Amino acid sequence: MSTTTSNAPEHFHVVHLDLAREAGHPTGSARDRYTLLLPLDGEGRILEAEARRHPDHCRVSHTDEHDEIVRGLLRPAPEGAWSFDFSAAGQGEETGFRFAQERFTPGEYVSIVRDGEEHTYRVISLQPL
């Protein structure tokens, strides 16, 4: 099933996350970016019930330092985490740590676990569809 943003249900937003400052990236990196498609409430929190109703619309893409892009699906996981399922792209799973408690508004920070290491990302933009 092909899903485009033009037919996404109400409350869905595009969220861009850039790598925040960490070892090896003292100023962060806009070249290490995640783009999320998620239903959010007015405070920028994930509407999990809405995401469960429309699972094919919850998407993630990751662009790395080499401009390689992988795309996958976002799914609720235990303890408020969200799973980034990149299996269709031949990649492993990543985790949005405590995403259920976070606010996705510009300037906020969120954590993503990739290859067993936690990385901090800054919300740089948010757009309703």
Give per-residue pLDDT as tens, 45-101: 999 999 999 999 999 999 998 999 999 999 999 999 999 999 888 788 899 999 999
- Total structural domains within the chain: 1
Residue 1 predicted with pLDDT over 90 = no
- Residue 77 near residue 55 (C-beta atoms within 8 A): no
Q: Would 49 be classed as within a structural domain? A: yes
Average pLDDT over the chain, rounded to an integer: 92
- Residue 45 near residue 103 (C-beta atoms within 8 A): yes
- Residue 13 near residue 38 (C-beta atoms within 8 A): yes
Short-list 125, 127, 128, CA closest to 17: 125
Burial class (CB in 10 A: 0-12, 13-18, 19+), 96: buried
pLDDT value at position 90? 79
Q: Would 113 be classed as within a structural domain? A: yes
Mean pLDDT of 19-39: 94
Q: Would 3 be classed as within a structural domain? A: no
Q: Would 62 be classed as within a structural domain? A: yes
Can you give the residue range of the structural domain that contains 15? 9-128
pLDDT value at position 6? 56
Q: Would 2 be classed as within a structural domain? A: no
Q: Would 40 be classed as within a structural domain? A: yes
Residue 31 predicted with pLDDT over 70 = yes
